[in-house]
Structure 1
Amino acid sequence: MRQRKQRTAQQRTKQQKKHKTIDYTFRGLDIAMIKNVAISRPRQEAPGKIPWCFPLLLIGVRKMKFVIKHEIKGRMRIHVSQYRMSYEQADTLLYFLHSNKYVTFAKVYERTGDAVISYVGDRTEMIRTLQQFSYEKVDVPAGVIENSGRELNAKYQEKLIGKIVCRYAGRMFLPYPFRACVTTVKSVKYLWKGLQCLWRRKIEVPVLDATAIGVSIFRNDIETAGSVMFLLGIGELLEEWTHKKSVDDLARTMSLNVGKVWLKREDQEVLVQTSEIRPGDEVVVHMGNVIPFDGIVSDGEAMVNQASLTGESVPVRRIVENSVYAGTVVEEGELTVLVKEVGGSSRFEKIVTMIEESEKLKSALEGKAEHLADKLVPYSLGGTALTYLLTRNVNKAISVLMVDFSCALKLAMPISVLSAIREASLYHVTVKGGKYLEAVADADTIVFDKTGTLTKAKPTVVDVVSFNGAEPDELLRIAACLEEHFPHSMAKAVVDAAQQKNLAHEEMHTKVEYIVAHGISTTIDGKRAVIGSSHFVFEDENCTIPEGKQELFDSLPKEYSHLYLAIEGKLAGVICIEDPLREEAEAVVNSLKRAGITKVVMMTGDSERTAAAIAKRVGVDEYYSEVLPEDKAGFIEKEKAAGRKVIMIGDGINDSPALSAANVGIAISDGAEIAREIADITVGSDDLYQIVTLKLLSDSLMKRIRGNYRFIVSFNLGLILCGVAGILQPTTSALLHNTSTLLISLKSMQNLLD
């Protein structure tokens, strides 16, 4: 009786709660754990019976059911229990898995409904995470699903399988007369292309293909004509697939990824998430920052670099009522932009169009291969005619015609380059064109910026020394208020330090002005305030050290970098920043030297004392301190004039002239947007070893291309000689030639560094 009363009391207490957790089990299945559900009226239900409100509870709470098919420690393969997984659902699940901090690798197969997951941590926690997954609950960023490439890959896989199945099914089940008619009809396309080429007074690859197919049909050799067209079609399909995939992968890595923007509200600028911006809002874009949305300039004037959309690196002037586009960068000045469009798909499409139309994807070797392929066509035709005149044997002449160097040259080279670009992305390296991989392979000089490149990208504030009697926290608050407007690792260190101390720094100043490689100036409460380097504060701005503070100034710790804050011409405070050297810096420099780089240079705007210490530890061949942006670019131009091939690596606004001047500009991903936009290659990982990987990848690509040249020439020359000698029949020559072209193309798609 007492136990029954206790249970009744407990039930009454639970019913009185407005919000509660309900765990219902129906027919032996755990249906859901549904939180914060309001029950308007308590009601007794029979054991195991679904309550009256259950249909409402299930709305939007569809959890994933799955089966573990195979499992080892830290890795499992699951099968999702659903009838069919769409491309969108597969991408949603993949995004969910990649977003989980415990997942190190994930791959989702939409056809089978399987997912392979590698993870660290507790297995039970991983399973619980998967159980809680719901397609409807995952907030996938705009553009991720649309531009994932999953549907593209599936489409081309189906095309490739369909073409192979149709070819061999036709040979097995269709009668010869029907196959002959089909082959003849298909040949019209190739014959027409050849005639069009001749009409333009050019003897190029389409003429050779048309001749080989036309002669085979004329001789009633339907099988040879069909084989040639089949292999040509496979080659075209593989080239188109690889090209589209590589371009889309490259466009995705170039796509905009801006987390926060400055929203203009009345007379203030407020830092907000990009997801909060709506059409009609006004955002402020400071110098060196990327323009996050398409829009109209409502205030300000600036020089905007539009290379990411137009391919032209010369900046254009934008003033009030001019249009600006997402992904372009403000090089000089400042703009207030009235947002017109916030979607990301339009920018992706613009980038794809720009890449496809740009010659940036063409390396010099690719161009040579294409031109050589076309130049060899007349020789192939001439060799065919000469063989017939000397031997009077049609089969021997056609054996020469069936074999040409152009197909493999024209197909394998672009596939090699595009596959290398794709492979680079696997190592978090974005390459904006094949010619840059070739330039990296040829480079013999590399120039490093120091701050954020050889040193860690996350410098930290160690101390704030006051020179005007103000509290160090107050000086840090003022500095953070100024520095938060500009993208630089030192500025970020100041802002982070203020945030860690919970120092609120609302806008207290007038318009801030950024002087590249020097510092920032503004007005606070009617007083001029500047912050920046020693050169800027004491030489350009003629600020002075307060009386009696010289000894304190001289005792500032020399092992740190210094950021100087002055108000009304007097030094107010010095922020000491520790910028530790990357652990891998010395090893990377040594590895680059072993990989063929003969000259490693470090250039920095920091003091001679700091530069000398870093240069000695890293092991560079030369170093230059207290340099300006134009000094870096000037040094690179001088090296190029001396016949050297130069790589420039940097991360800041002040590195952009040098990145543009170098044969190859490489930007570190944590740096300024303008550096990433101007650079030819972006290293996305916080690890300098990726630069060594890039060098090895580029060298391997050039080695593969040269190997392809040698194989194509020797193999096809052997086929021609065997055909002239009568060892091989035309059908066999065509089969071997086209098969070798297909195999070398497939080999060119393989990873270089496996």
Structure 2
Amino acid sequence: MGSPSPLAPSAARPRLLHRSPGRLRLGWTGLRHPDLRTDYLEAWLAHRAGLAQVRVNAAGGCLVARFDEDGGERPGVFEDIAAALASLPPEAYAARQPQTTRQPRRLADALAASALAAGGMFLPPAPRMALATAMAAPVLLRGADSLANQGLKAKSLDMASVGFALATGDSSSALGICAMVVMGEYLRQATEDKAGALLRTLLAPPVETVRVERVAPDGRPEEIRLPAESVRPGDLVLAGTGEMLAVDGVVERGAALVDKGVISGESAPVETVPGDEVPAGAVVAHGSLAVRAVRTGAECATARIASLMDKSLREKSRPERLSDRLADRLAPLSLLFGAGIYAATGSASRALSVLTVDYACSVKLSAPVVVKATMHTAARAGILVKGGSALDELARADTIVFDKTGTLTTGRMTVADIVLAPGSGLDENELVRLAASAEERWTHPVARAFAAEAKRRGLALLPACDADCATGLGARAQVGASGSRRDVAVGSARFLVQSCGENALCSQEHPLRAQGKTLVHVAVDGRPAGMVALRDELRLEAGEVIAALRRRGVRRVLLLTGDHQDAAEAVLAGLDGPAAPDEVRAGLTPDDKEAAVRALRQSGARVAVVGDGVNDAPALLAGDVGVCVAGDELGDGTVAALTRDAAGIVLLRGGLHGLLTARDAAERAGRVLRGCFATGVAVNSALLVAAATGRLSPLTAAALHNGTTFAILSAAGLASGRPLPAAGPERFPDRADKSL
């Protein structure tokens, strides 16, 4: 158990509000803490205090606990809950990101500039002009630097308005405009920083130290504590209730309820037993585990996500680049308009009022706010977006290309039939053992099917070396102990023909293919050994999702698969009407899929490729945007999906409903951006007209311009940050998703 969180509130003792048989409701001000993870608290408290169910109402500062479903009584239950709440672990609170030192300094500068400007208004003319000149110096220098290096931008307009005020002797306007420039920069930057900070709050807090089990000199296991960065693959990491895992690994012993919400966004802890894979950032809600580390440090799933988040914050998306260019083109309009007004009327006040208004701010700054807020909202729905460009491309896609295995189908293949080659000398168990051993290091669906079948039959795998995988064809390895190794090849009929020549089992394929089964051939020591038929199931939501995509503007849907035509037609049997793909191509290699996607793009289509990221990386890269469907279980497949650069979007929860949610998020971001642009142009046009006709003083025009810009940015952030409606059945309808 960790020590109480430093973020834990200084709250009064819980108080009993109501009690009935088997149930009580208590109030506690600590439940209103802004960083409290209510999903974690519910699971942790239920097991810590031995409760049947806990429901937290954070806004109301109360919780309901059920301790006996039969309505019985339990002495001391309130005291048990109160004691547990008094010792909440640090993991019950979301990590609060440290505020950068620049933000307080910007605020101090803005407040100081406002105070100086306000006080300067009461000075005599000469000191007021001196103060205005001193405050204007930084604005003039930044504007001159921007003009010299970047051309005419918003900072150049600030320079022009302040310089014009000083040149005409209007020191009061110069003071006010300088103060508003500094305050406006602070407000705009604070809005954008907040949007970026929202993304970073999704990441799990770093684990500083971990408990590791090592073998002592006397041969007995001993527990030591190491810095997290010192843990290496192969170490046995220990984690108990309330502790967060610092490594991706496989459970070796123990059993626990594990909260994997840091990766999937799902709030319900899942039961985890030996053999299950767990990601770094997962929290042991109840129980204890010994986890054999597989990936550590920068290779962990959470570290990969952090890297992707940082990269997405640094890189500008297409909407951001377009808004930058548009803002740059609009900036000279205000300058030319102001010069024209001065030439036509000779009024310095009108010209100065016009110069304080420009289109650039609301147009340029709304794009990063909308993109970051949308990425945050999508992440809370279990969708990792690796950049704003991926959102933009998904919203514009009119053609969707699906892979079959692991995408339209579940990818959970099972062994249905085994056909032994005559004279192979092997029985079914030995064939499965050799094939599973050869495929052990790989994570694609066929490898998982052999591993599961070997486990079901109780077969111990043999050591394998010199393993090699030909993407889309098969795998080969030397299997067995040194001195008795056997050359084992597992893959398609074409792969086996390449490996050992003619394969007599090919003539027996048709009856099994006609049933829509996937056939895998096995050769041992260069001779055909057997054929295994695998069965895969169509995802229940596949038809619903394809039909919904058509309603969202997708004009064409294709299915590209490396499997045979019969297997593809078996999938089509479950898809009809608007759910049926427009075109199906079977028997394709990864290179064939890539060529097909490139041909679609060359024909003018905007293509989104949806796959599982296992052997379709070339096609994912060839599309305008790649969408990777992670495994339904948070195992190695999910980690692989996170680490693949081919996919711009990863659906972390498995299943296809996330594709609809991602499309909805992308389309909403586009609508919000268009709304921001239209509003910014309309409002600033009205301000320019009012300023040109003398209805606004320079200070009023500057104040209204900054105020409306901040209002547009705030509205953009709020509109993009609204929770996305569920696109499919909720997996946990009684719980809310909290974090990625």
Q: Distance in 2 between matches of 1:159 and 1:701?
A: 32
SS at match of 1:151: coil
Cα displacement (A) at 1:666: 0.9
Which residue, out of 450, 464, 475, partners 1:494? 450
SS at match of 1:456: coil
1:604 to 2:561 alignment: yes
Cα displacement (A) at 1:76: 8.2
Equivalent residue for 1:229? 182
CA 1:550–1:660 in 2, change beyond 3 Å: closer, same or farther? closer
Equivalent residue for 2:487? 528
Equivalent residue for 2:378? 424
Equivalent residue for 1:621? 582
Contact 1:417–1:701 (CA<8 Å) still a contact in 2? yes
Contact 1:420–1:751 (CA<8 Å) still a contact in 2? no
CA 1:682–1:551 in 2, change beyond 3 Å: closer, same or farther? closer
Q: Distance in 1 between matches of 2:641 and 2:302?
A: 23
Q: Distance in 1 between matches of 2:346 and 2:679?
A: 30
Which residue, out of 350, 364, 369, partners 1:415? 369
Contact 2:110–2:179 (CA<8 Å) still a contact in 1? no
Single out whichever of 344-353 and 454-463 deviates more from structure 2. Answer: 344-353
Equivalent residue for 1:150? 96
Cα displacement (A) at 1:367: 1.1
Cα displacement (A) at 1:129: 9.2
Equivalent residue for 1:219? 171
Equivalent residue for 2:349? 395
Q: Distance in 1 between matches of 2:571 and 2:97?
A: 49
Equivalent residue for 2:466? 511
Equivalent residue for 1:566? 523
Q: Distance in 1 between matches of 2:620 and 2:56?
A: 35
Contact 1:659–1:675 (CA<8 Å) still a contact in 2? no
1:592 to 2:549 alignment: yes
CA 1:428–1:253 in 2, change beyond 3 Å: closer, same or farther? farther
Equivalent residue for 2:627? 666
Cα displacement (A) at 1:350: 5.7
Contact 1:293–1:341 (CA<8 Å) still a contact in 2? no
Question: Which residue identity does 1:612 align to in structure 2?
Answer: E
Q: Distance in 1 between matches of 2:521 and 2:360?
A: 64
Q: Distance in 2 between matches of 1:173 and 1:106?
A: 51
CA 1:657–1:402 in 2, change beyond 3 Å: closer, same or farther? same
Q: Distance in 2 between matches of 1:664 and 1:598?
A: 16
Cα displacement (A) at 1:427: 1.6
Question: Which residue identity does 1:362 align to in structure 2?
Answer: S
**Cα deviation 1:372-424 (Å, max 9, x = unaligned):** 22232222112112101111222221221121101111211221112111121
SS at match of 1:580: coil
Question: Which residue identity does 2:172 align to in structure 1?
Answer: N
**Cα deviation 1:587-612 (Å, max 9, x = unaligned):** 10111111111110111111111101
**Cα deviation 1:643-688 (Å, max 9, x = unaligned):** 1111111114320111111110111122475554121111112221
Equivalent residue for 1:208? 157
Cα displacement (A) at 1:628: 0.4
Contact 2:509–2:519 (CA<8 Å) still a contact in 1? no
Cα displacement (A) at 1:582: 0.5
Contact 2:513–2:566 (CA<8 Å) still a contact in 1? no
Question: Which residue identity does 1:150 align to in structure 2?
Answer: R
Matches within 5 A, 1:320-331: none
Contact 2:557–2:583 (CA<8 Å) still a contact in 1? yes
Matches within 5 A, 1:280-679: 354-357=311-314, 359=315, 361-363=316-318, 365-467=319-421, 468=424, 470-507=426-463, 509-524=464-479, 525-538=484-497, 540-542=499-501, 544-545=503-504, 554=511, 558-618=515-575, 619-670=580-631, 671=637, 675-676=641-642, 677-678=644-645, 679=647
Which residue, out of 141, 144, 155, partners 1:192? 141
SS at match of 2:694: coil
Cα displacement (A) at 1:535: 2.7
- What is the count of residue pairs matched by the alignment? 608
Cα displacement (A) at 1:506: 3.8
Q: Distance in 1 between matches of 2:559 and 2:133?
A: 65
Contact 2:410–2:538 (CA<8 Å) still a contact in 1? yes
**Cα deviation 1:440-464 (Å, max 9, x = unaligned):** 1111111111000000132333444
Q: Distance in 1 between matches of 2:489 and 2:538?
A: 28
CA 1:280–1:378 in 2, change beyond 3 Å: closer, same or farther? closer
Cα displacement (A) at 1:472: 2.9
Q: Distance in 2 between matches of 1:681 and 1:244?
A: 20
Cα displacement (A) at 1:128: 9.6
**Cα deviation 1:427-486 (Å, max 9, x = unaligned):** 211111111111111111111110000001323334444444644333333322222210
Q: Percent identity?
A: 24
Contact 1:441–1:699 (CA<8 Å) still a contact in 2? yes
Q: Distance in 2 between matches of 1:342 and 1:685?
A: 20
Cα displacement (A) at 1:71: 12
Contact 2:474–2:490 (CA<8 Å) still a contact in 1? yes
CA 1:340–1:736 in 2, change beyond 3 Å: closer, same or farther? closer
Q: Distance in 2 between matches of 1:118 and 1:223?
A: 58
CA 1:706–1:351 in 2, change beyond 3 Å: closer, same or farther? closer
Contact 2:111–2:183 (CA<8 Å) still a contact in 1? no
CA 1:343–1:469 in 2, change beyond 3 Å: closer, same or farther? closer
Matches within 5 A, 1:717-728: 717-728=685-696
Q: Distance in 2 between matches of 1:661 and 1:255?
A: 36
Equivalent residue for 2:218? none
Contact 1:464–1:476 (CA<8 Å) still a contact in 2? no
Equivalent residue for 1:57? none
Contact 2:14–2:26 (CA<8 Å) still a contact in 1? no
CA 1:165–1:519 in 2, change beyond 3 Å: closer, same or farther? same
Equivalent residue for 1:298? none
Equivalent residue for 1:708? 676
Equivalent residue for 2:734? none
Extract unaligned runs of 5+ from structure 2: 2-11, 208-225, 236-245, 249-279, 281-293, 632-636, 726-740
Q: Distance in 2 between matches of 1:392 and 1:173?
A: 30
> Normalized against structure 2, the TM-score is what?
0.69
- The structure number with the bigger radius of gyration is 1
Contact 1:149–1:245 (CA<8 Å) still a contact in 2? no
Extract unaligned runs of 5+ from structure 1: 1-31, 33-63, 257-274, 285-291, 295-325, 327-336
Q: Distance in 1 between matches of 2:111 and 2:15?
A: 33
Q: Distance in 1 between matches of 2:26 and 2:122?
A: 47
Equivalent residue for 1:6? none
Q: Distance in 2 between matches of 1:702 and 1:573?
A: 54
SS at match of 2:369: helix
SS at match of 1:537: helix
Question: Which residue identity does 1:520 align to in structure 2?
Answer: A
1:685 to 2:685 alignment: no
CA 1:282–1:356 in 2, change beyond 3 Å: closer, same or farther? same
SS at match of 1:200: helix
Question: Which residue identity does 2:400 align to in structure 1?
Answer: I
| Greater RCO, 1 or 2 (C-alpha within 8 Å, sep 6+) | 2
Q: Distance in 1 between matches of 2:399 and 2:140?
A: 50
Cα displacement (A) at 1:635: 0.3
Q: Distance in 2 between matches of 1:343 and 1:582?
A: 29
Contact 2:629–2:655 (CA<8 Å) still a contact in 1? no
CA 1:672–1:405 in 2, change beyond 3 Å: closer, same or farther? same
Q: Distance in 2 between matches of 1:727 and 1:339?
A: 64
CA 1:649–1:540 in 2, change beyond 3 Å: closer, same or farther? farther
